[in-house]
Homo-oligomer: A and B are copies of this chain.
Amino acid sequence: MNQTRYEIGTEQLKKIDGVGGEKVIESLKEIAPDLGKYIIEFAFGDIYPREGLSLQERELITITSLLTAGGCEPQLDVHINGALNVGITPEKIIEAFIQCIPYTGFPKVLNAVNVAKHVFAAYEKTVG
């Protein structure tokens, strides 16, 4: 039997963003439940399970896009966790941020590294 987009998205969200992703959806339940639904159905149900890129490549792209957009520290937090969850090492995450310097300048890279610092420390406690 076919899974719905919502079911596929829920699985993907759990696999990638783990607890952080579920907290985002949970936080929307009262105020904007449909926003949570679209994140699950569209971002995680339609886009993430597509072929053509590995999950690791998708997370590299996502954290690059969030760093470049700026002002998305809460989402960077969730997706740096996501990057770790799909097996990208902390060193490679930092290297991806360093690759952005020529294209975004230093300030946005500094902001992203600062988020990573907190995420890595918390992740180590949980996992380690």
Residue numbers of A with Cβ under 8 A of B are: 24, 27-28, 31-32, 34-35, 38-39, 42-43, 46-47, 50, 52-53, 57-58, 60-62, 64-72, 74-75, 91-92, 94-111, 113-114, 116-117, 120
Known contacts being A92-B52, A102-B47, A103-B105, is A61 close to B60, with CB within 8 Å?
Answer: yes
A105, chain B: closest CB distance, angstroms:
4
How far does the alpha carbon of A42 sit from the alpha carbon of B113 in the complex, in Å? Answer: 18
Name the 4 nearest CB pairs between A and B, nearest first: A52-B95, A71-B71, A43-B102, A68-B68
- 22 sample A-B contacts, Cβ–Cβ < 8 Å, listed by A number: A28-B113, A31-B94, A32-B94, A34-B98, A35-B94, A35-B110, A38-B42, A38-B46, A42-B102, A47-B101, A52-B95, A60-B61, A65-B67, A68-B69, A70-B70, A70-B72, A71-B111, A72-B107, A72-B111, A74-B110, A75-B110, A102-B105
Additional 19 contacts, C-beta under 8 A, given A35-B113, A60-B60, A72-B103: A31-B117, A31-B120, A35-B97, A35-B98, A47-B102, A50-B99, A52-B91, A52-B95, A57-B57, A57-B60, A58-B99, A61-B64, A65-B104, A69-B107, A70-B70, A72-B107, A74-B110, A101-B105, A103-B106
